Amino acid sequence: MLIKTITTYLIFVFLTGCATLYQYKPNQGEKTATLNLDKKGFEVNLSETGKCPKSYVEKTTNNVTIPVGKRFWVDVGYSSLGAPMGRECIISLSFMPQDGKTYAVDFKTNPSSCSGGILTNDGNGNWVIETSTKQEEFNRCW
pLDDT at 83: 66
Question: Which amino acid is present at 50?
Answer: G
Per DSSP, 52 falls in state: S
Residues of the chain with pLDDT under 50: 1-17
pTM confidence score: 0.77
Core vs surface per residue 104-131: b (16+ CB within 10 A) or e: bbbbeeeeeebebbbbbbeeeeeeeebe
In Å, what is the CA distance from 113 to each residue of 104, 133, 139? Answer: 20, 20, 19
Tens digit of each residue's pLDDT (9 = 90 or more) over 47-79? 888 888 888 877 777 888 999 999 999 999 887
- The pLDDT, as a whole number, for residue 51 is 85
